[in-house]
Chain A
Amino acid sequence: MSDSVRTLLILIPGLPLLSAVVTALLGRRVLRHWSHLPTILALGASCAMSLMLLLEVRQPAPDDSTSGSVRFAQVEPLWTWIDVKDAFELNGQSRDFTVEVALRADSLTSVMLVMVTFISTLVAIYAAGYMRGDDGYGRFFAYISLFVFSMTMLVSVSNFVLLYVFWEAVGACSYLLIGFWFQKPSAAAAGKKAFLVNRIGDFGFAIALFLIWTTYGSLDFHGPDGIFGDKLLSGEAAYVGGGVGLAICLLLMVGACGKSAQFPLHVWLPDAMEGPTPVSALIHAATMVTAGVYMVTRCSPLFFASAADPYVVGYGLDAVAISAPMVVAGIGAFTALLAGLIALTQNDLKRVLAYSTVSQLGYMFLSLGTGSLIGITAGMFHLFTHAFFKALLFLGSGSVMHSMGHVIDMRRFGGLRKIMPYTHWTFLVGCLALAGVFPLAGFFSKDAILIEVFVQGHSHSPTAAYYQVLYCVGIVAALLTAFYTFRAFFMTFYGPLRVPAEAGDHAHESPMSMVAPLCILSVFAATVGLLLSSSFGQFLVQTPSLAYVAGQEAAHATGSHHDHHHAHQLVATTSTLVALLGIGLAAFLHLGNRSQAQWLATRWWSAWFYRLSYGKFFFDEIYIVLIVWPLRLVAGFSYLIDRYLIDGIVNLCGAIPPMIGSRLRSTQRGIVQYYAFASIFVLMFFLVAALYFNDFVN
């Protein structure tokens, strides 16, 4: 068993890497319009092997521990990358700084691997149709393969340093793919923006790693001293709470905010829609942006420790206890609401979906922020289901774009259900899943999140009131989700048939290679929630770090099962009603002649809100004034210093030799006698000087 796991772990990222190299080397000259073949084959094989790995991990661990909960994690070290002896002393013990390139197989990893490889295989098949005829056909698939390699490595490495490395690698792939059409200035700018905003998050992540190293003396996940290793998980050593624990968690959260586009670093994701649509579906909806959620889930013991030992600010009655999960939940809920409000009025189909992604990621963080095991697994479950229906929606919007001649403004087309029946029906499934209508995938995962927040809000802990507010925010965001999703759906597929001039007179359904992935995804988006809602959490809890949380919760059990059952009915009813209300509202405003929407946008009491939402709450403008302009000023000042002061000094030094030379040049006249005279004269001078000094010395 161990050998097969090792082989699978190496091959799952290895095949995409191989295909990236092959496509990059041969794509332009040899493969040309067959460039998609290596990628599709490699990703398909990776997907099959990920499923095999999932089955391996599913088997219960052979031995089992005393704690009752089943843990399974297998770590396969490949080689040692960095090895520094006695790098650091912690509590009188010297620690070696070693970075072992080790891959791990546990429930969390295998779930992420299955999701990533499955979605990427379908997206690669779709892209073979979507990107046909593009100049950079081979380049595109090389990037996609490289991205899948980086992403699979990101979820399977067992070390914080390597996690950081591949965290950056997926960021670089994202940059390359957003700016894929780099001749377009807006695409180049969007790529740069995504890269720079991500740097801020990565900076926080890097500092979090430094803090983890100085606090725990290790950056490995596994091993006796590892962060999720034997000693810490078994309680032999304790996780650090208080100020340091909070700082670590918040800095990790800064990194997650950058990668997963949470407030205040959410501004890059909507602009990232400049990239090709398959990229938006794969990277900016399903996989890369969920890396932050994965990372926080992986680090859940750290967050749990912060919740158990919050950092208290102030004294006496004014004291406020801050714990990391509260902050995570707050950021998540606020982002979910904010992005939902912005998505209400956007006219660009892909941007609506982008803000929807931001909003759903906010849901996931809200769920992780409950700090409980059920909340964490619910967040991961939402990540899993969201990947299917959001990829479906993006691919559907790409299909619309493909036949509309790359027009994406929803005001310019409508009534497409007659032209594009497949896209229409699959898009409808995606919308229903996103809105959370029973029995599609989104209903189960979103409900699981809301239930857990609701339960936290009605517990006896001092944070209950806080979570009650967040629950209300979550319900409002669910309403917004249903509304903007169906607004986009109705605007695109209903009303009188309108086709923009760019589409020409050949507007038609997309080719088979694009429709097939849509159909497959829609089947999964419809069923995955129902099939997995009960077993997903049980499977995921085998992950060591989640098993730790489960063990800790069991130790401090408060018996909330009754609450859960009661909450389930209430929340399910509420959220279904809210989703139907949102759909109904969207139908009322956008299904008919849309005069009500126009009317609403021009009333004095609602126009200000319309403008605020349409302008994306002016975050870009605020950032430009607060951050970009001051930085530009400093850069301009530095430029002047460099250009005139530093360069001036250098040029001055450089000007001295020519100045001397210009004086002496007139002596170089090319006449032999002059040179002879100079050498004889100089020789005589030195002879006389030597004689004189000899006399002087002796």
Chain B
Amino acid sequence: MVAPGDGKKLREGVAMVEYELHLLHNYLIVGALLFGIGTIGFLARRNMIVMFLCVEMMLQGVSLSLVAWGRYHGNWGGQVLVIFILAVAACEAGIALAMFLMLYRRSGNLDMIFWQSLREENQSETVDVEIPEPDEADHQWPILTPAGIEPDHDTEKPLHRSHV
């Protein structure tokens, strides 16, 4: 026997499940995107701080999917884990940044390429085809135009650094 209101409830239930699934998919997609961007950033960039930021981004992607799964399953496990991750990430950030600071003091540079001494013996050092010399332009910071004054558009002046 099916009660008169049952069909509506059932339909509502199905809609809820589909909604939850959609929601999960969306969050997982965003999480995967964050993870993927972080990965690519980690592989592609050489500045240690930027690499560290990329790692954090990967971590956040994972955290997001954990929260999403937690909601989908209707328990707090995912969120509890994320709190732990945040705490651990904070510690890790502290350690990592301290290490970067020390490395910077030694080499005067944040480029990862200066720290390849763990390579195998007899392997030649990896040298960039051309390590760009820091030129004058790099040390010029963007200049804010004075408020309310029409800036003189000097096209020869660079507005931002060519690279980080």
Q: Is the CB of B112 within 8 A of A669?
A: no
Indicate if the CB atoms of B42 and A669 lie closer than 8 Å. no
A654-670 at interface with B (beta carbon < 8 Å): 665-666, 668-670
Report B121 CB to chain A, min CB distance, Å: 8
Q: How many residues of B contact A (CB 8 A)?
A: 17
Is the CB of B155 closer than 8 A to any CB of chain A? no
- Per-residue B-contact encoding for A664-698, CB less than 8 Å = 1, 0 else: 01101111110011001000000000000000000
Partner of A670 from the list B42, B119, B122 (CB cut-off 8 Å) is B119
Instruction: Please indicate which of the listed interface residues B44, B46, B123 has the most CB atoms of chain A within 10 Å of its own CB.
Output: B123
Q: How far is the CA of A665 from the CA of B121 in the complex (A)?
A: 9
Check A673–B117 contact: CB distance below 8 A.
no
B43 proximal to A (CB < 8 A): yes
Are B112 and A665 in contact (CB-based, < 8 A)?
Answer: no
* Cα distance, A1 to B81, chains bound together (Å): 90
Q: Is B162 an interface residue (CB 8 A)?
A: no
- In the bound assembly, the distance between CA atoms of A671 and B117 in angstroms comes to 9
**The one of B42, B115, B123 that contacts A668, using a Cβ cutoff of 8 Å:** B123
Smallest CB separation, B41 vs chain A (Å): 11
Query: Given the complex, which residues of B lie within 8 Å of A665, measured CB to CB?
Result: 120, 122-123
CA gap between A672 and B39 in the complex, in Å: 13
Which B residues lie within 8 Å of A677 (CB)?
Answer: 43
Q: How far is the CB of B104 from chain A (nearest CB, A)?
A: 16
Complex Cα spacing A672 to B119, Å: 10
From residue B32, how far is it (CB to closest CB) to chain A in Å?
13
B107 in contact (CB, < 8 A): no
User: A-facing mask of B86-116, CB < 8 A → 1, else 0?
Assistant: 0000000000000000000000000011011
From the candidates A666, A668, A672, name the one contacting B112 in the complex (CB within 8 A). A672
Minimum distance in angstroms from B126 CB to a CB of chain A: 5
Contact A670 B39 (CB under 8 A): no
- Distance in angstroms from A657 CB to nearest chain B CB is 15
Closest to B113 in A: A671
Determine the distance from Cα of A362 to Cα of B44 in the docked complex, in whole angstroms: 96
- B48-75 CB contact bits vs A (8 Å, 1 = yes)? 0001000000000000000000000000
Interface pairs (18), CB distance under 8 Å: A666-B120, A666-B123, A668-B119, A668-B120, A668-B123, A669-B116, A669-B119, A670-B117, A670-B119, A670-B126, A671-B112, A671-B119, A672-B112, A672-B115, A676-B42, A676-B43, A677-B43, A680-B39
Interface residues of A (CB under 8 A from B): 665-666, 668-673, 676-677, 680
| Given A669-B116, A670-B115, A671-B113, 20 other A-B residues pairs in contact with their CB atoms under 8 A | A665-B120, A666-B120, A668-B119, A668-B120, A669-B120, A669-B126, A670-B116, A670-B118, A670-B126, A671-B112, A671-B116, A671-B126, A672-B51, A672-B112, A672-B115, A673-B42, A676-B42, A677-B43, A680-B39, A680-B43
